[in-house]
Structure 1
Amino acid sequence: MYSGLTAMKKKSVAVVIVSNGPGELTTWVNPVINELNKINKALCDDDKINFTLRLVLVPCPNATGKEYLVANSWNKFELITKSKSFWKLLIKPHSFANWPKKGVVIFLGGDQLWSILLAKRLGYLNITYAEWISRWPQWTNEIAAMNLKVKKLIPKKYQYKCQIIGDLMADIKLGSEISLKNTEKNYIALLPGSKKAKLSVGVPFFLEIADHIAEENQNINFIIPIAPTTDKSEFLFFQSERNPIAKYYSSKIKTIKKIKDSCFDSVIETSKNTKIYLIEKYPCYEILKECDLAITTVGANTAELAAIALPMLVVLPTQHLNKMNAWDGIFGLIGKISFINKFITFAIKYFYFKKKKFFAWPNIKAKRMIIPERIGNISPVKIAREVLFLIKNKNKLKSISDSLQKERGNKGAAEKLASMIVNAIKKL
């Protein structure tokens, strides 16, 4: 299980980072470990702290399975444990490596409880980065909060543990060399989903949205960031007759071609000659940041788009809920039984959707409608009309972007969190 750097000698303190998905690795973990090493390098030789960096990946439904490869490619960790090994690590940590007597466990993704359990098991201090809420303040040693709202949600008797450090995602390096604004065109990002259940609806639905928009406005370019869990072949599959939902939509893919000497990797051309550019790099915030608007389905991607203050329109067509055999997991299995399928569809439509107030993460956390959500029996043409209205209404887009920005924290969080870790180590 050892990977990355191999320690030349035994270190006295372990810095153990707990994380889960590719987004958290890129936007939270990497900036923090870079700041840790920067602080240590800046100290004089006599003051340098001796620590090893270890990464523990934890089980998460939003993980892609490629997190280990991503982290290992950085060559910055003495030890990386895969998510499937987490429970074994918790029970028998010494079966993976020798653990120093002193250390700090930092939560940077997944479930906050996992980092607390691991810290207790190893006898280490625990620091939790709380983006929206600190769930177990009584059991953690220190809390690094994104903003004042997070601190206020902590019971008063535990607020002394909390420091407001800002927003780790505000420190995202966007890559200033990327610019889409060298033409008069607008750019719209399409995010139809990353899992089969969402793609089965999202691919034909979003293709038709693009065709309707292009028919009315030729001054718009479309891009799709391809999630790590999918590939171009799935776009072809879900727009074909092999996907039973595709028959409800007329838009099809005519070709997918590679592109050279471009920030895009490929281009889809629909049967109605609409071009949609594909980006395989993940994450691609530097390109998304340049877009005017994103059309997305519900999910964690709404939080990532909010972090770069990109205005978005969130759509969730509910007219295909009866096609449960296209879904993943237990719903896909039991949905094949006709009467159960009808019962689940009825329950979701008339209880879950009516009871749930917000579906997009920015709206859920702000407890108000910051970004528009269109949930229900919606059509691509209706969404296309709203998108065309938003693209023309620059003040509305700016208002959404400003509201998203206000809900986030300030920059400089990675440096402050690294300082908290270093100070905790010095006290050990």
Structure 2
Amino acid sequence: MLDEILLLTNGPGELSTWVPPVLTRLRQRVPGARIELFLIRDQFAAGTEQTKAEALQLDALSGRSALFRRLLERKTGRRGLVLLLGGAPRDAVLLGRATGYPAFSYTFDARAHHPGLRAVLVDSERTRAAMQARGVNPARIEVVGNLVVDALHEAPAVAAPAADVLLLAGSRPFAARYLLGFLLAAAEQMAKARPDLRFAWVRSRLLPEAVVAEALEGGLAKELGGVGARWVGDRLQTAGGLEVLVLDEPQRYAAMRRAQLAITIPGTNTLELALAGLPSLVLLPLHKPEMLPLEGLWHWLLSGPGLRSLKQRFVWRLAARLPHLALPNLWLNERVFPELRGVFSPAEVASAGLELLEPQRARDVRARLKRLDAQPGADKLVEYVLARC
């Protein structure tokens, strides 16, 4: 029987979709184990993940400083395991070496491997093949399934008012400040052509009230053609008079199953939308490219004073080289969800959204999404790691 389980995660997507189904099963299978989550926030984090993680059934919730202290402690002789659910594999390996526990990781990314891991657990044969192509020992790769499927299936049944078009401005403050007003302006344009449409903003619980207030003022969004809005009861009313429902985050899965279209940005949410079968328009606005976080060392190298124009050029070149933005597009290697990247207007977003609402186009997208064929993974993942400790 294990004495301790140490989990590590980083961003809002992993915290919402990967951690809960795994944690639930670990509690069921190893009820006496102490479970600690190290929340190692990086440049992609919203900054408010701590509050969300506090609602989980954990014995301890820690950050980077506590992780460093644990790395310096002596081994206790207890039995345990380390499991990375988002973040840098080296953190799991270092923690495993410090504690003497075997270290595992779960990933969608074929690049996310470290030779110090006991095994890397992946979502699909596609990821396994890509990882093997990068030289990883096949014996150290195990296909367990897709944890986002578990999250979708196990989400509490929370009722949501009906909406035709969902607006997802993300959970990161830097994006929401600009994007919410931009999406509201696109919704106004769509409503002019289709007055019958009902719109809803899916509000992330990771967004602080101050950020929401700033976003609704519309000051930053107006630079991109966006609009402000005000609260009218529990709804928003845009500057142009459009009423927009506001859905709490737990309502998002119910809303996805009833909606006709989502307008969103890249991230785990594109996979949630795909698995829910909802046609979606994915946006990467590059009006302010210097605001975007970058992966790895590039983020820190290009964040110094006087490097704004250099980062802008770097982001533009990087965006041009990316074949796809949305996870389902990457996995299927085709543009199932239409994508807009670069500098574009709310009117262009509205036009692309209205096109995706056309019945034949929507049917085609839904049919192509079925090829994802993702399977649940939490049961197999937990069974695998417990059997090897």
Q: TM-score, normalised by structure 2?
A: 0.83
CA contact (8 A) 1:16 1:55 kept: yes
Q: Alignment partner for residue 371 of structure 2, among 406, 413, 418?
A: 406
Corresponding residue for residue 385 of structure 1:
351
Q: Alignment partner for residue 55 of structure 1, among 37, 40, 44?
A: 37
Aligned pairs for 1:29-428 within 5 A: 29-40=19-30, 51-74=33-56, 76-90=57-71, 92-93=72-73, 99-133=76-110, 135-136=112-113, 138-155=115-132, 158-172=137-151, 173-176=154-157, 178=159, 180=161, 187-231=164-208, 233-238=210-215, 240=217, 242-243=219-220, 246=222, 249=225, 251-253=227-229, 255-258=230-233, 266-281=234-249, 284-318=252-286, 320-321=287-288, 334=305, 344-346=311-313, 348-349=315-316, 351-393=317-359, 395-407=360-372, 409-411=374-376, 413-425=377-389
The alpha-carbon distance between structure 1 residues 250 and 321, as it changes in their structure 2 partners (threshold 3 A), is: closer
The residue type paired with residue 19 of structure 2 is: V
- Provide, for residues 153-194 of structure 1, a one-character-per-residue CA deviation record: whole Å limited to 9, x for no partner: 23377212333221111112244452545xxxx521112344
- Provide, for residues 301-339 of structure 1, a one-character-per-residue CA deviation record: whole Å limited to 9, x for no partner: 434434544321112333x338x6x789987874xx7xx
Corresponding residue for residue 24 of structure 1:
14
CA contact (8 A) 2:88 2:112 kept: no
The residue type paired with residue 241 of structure 2 is: N
The alpha-carbon distance between structure 1 residues 240 and 57, as it changes in their structure 2 partners (threshold 3 A), is: closer
How far is 1:379 from its partner? 1.8
How far is 1:353 from its partner? 3.6
Question: C-alpha distance in 2, partners of 1:195/1:51?
Answer: 33
How far is 1:345 from its partner? 4.2
How far is 1:275 from its partner? 1.0
How far is 1:248 from its partner? 5.7
Question: C-alpha distance in 2, partners of 1:294/1:380?
Answer: 15
362-371 or 269-278, which deviates more: 362-371
SS of 1:154 mapped into structure 2: helix
Corresponding residue for residue 262 of structure 1:
none
Question: C-alpha distance in 2, partners of 1:370/1:60?
Answer: 30
400-409 or 307-316, which deviates more: 400-409
How far is 1:290 from its partner? 2.8
Question: C-alpha distance in 1, partners of 2:121/2:165?
Answer: 35
CA contact (8 A) 2:284 2:342 kept: yes
127-136 or 415-424, which deviates more: 127-136
The residue type paired with residue 185 of structure 2 is: E
The alpha-carbon distance between structure 1 residues 137 and 152, as it changes in their structure 2 partners (threshold 3 A), is: farther
Question: C-alpha distance in 2, partners of 1:111/1:143?
Answer: 12
Q: TM-score, normalised by structure 1?
A: 0.76
RMSD of aligned alpha carbons: 3.3
CA contact (8 A) 1:21 1:109 kept: yes
How far is 1:375 from its partner? 1.6
Question: C-alpha distance in 2, partners of 1:281/1:354?
Answer: 32
How far is 1:295 from its partner? 0.7
SS of 2:96 mapped into structure 1: helix
- Provide, for residues 35-84 of structure 1, a one-character-per-residue CA deviation record: whole Å limited to 9, x for no partner: 2333357xxxxxxxx6332222223223334444433333x333332244
Identity %: 20
Question: C-alpha distance in 1, partners of 2:18/2:181?
Answer: 34
How far is 1:138 from its partner? 2.9
Corresponding residue for residue 296 of structure 2:
none
The residue type paired with residue 388 of structure 2 is: A
Question: C-alpha distance in 2, partners of 1:221/1:278?
Answer: 11
CA contact (8 A) 2:177 2:211 kept: no
Question: C-alpha distance in 2, partners of 1:127/1:359?
Answer: 27
How far is 1:274 from its partner? 0.8
Structure 1 unpaired stretches of 5+: 1-10, 42-49, 259-265
Question: C-alpha distance in 1, partners of 2:324/2:148?
Answer: 23
The alpha-carbon distance between structure 1 residues 13 and 289, as it changes in their structure 2 partners (threshold 3 A), is: same
The alpha-carbon distance between structure 1 residues 37 and 240, as it changes in their structure 2 partners (threshold 3 A), is: closer
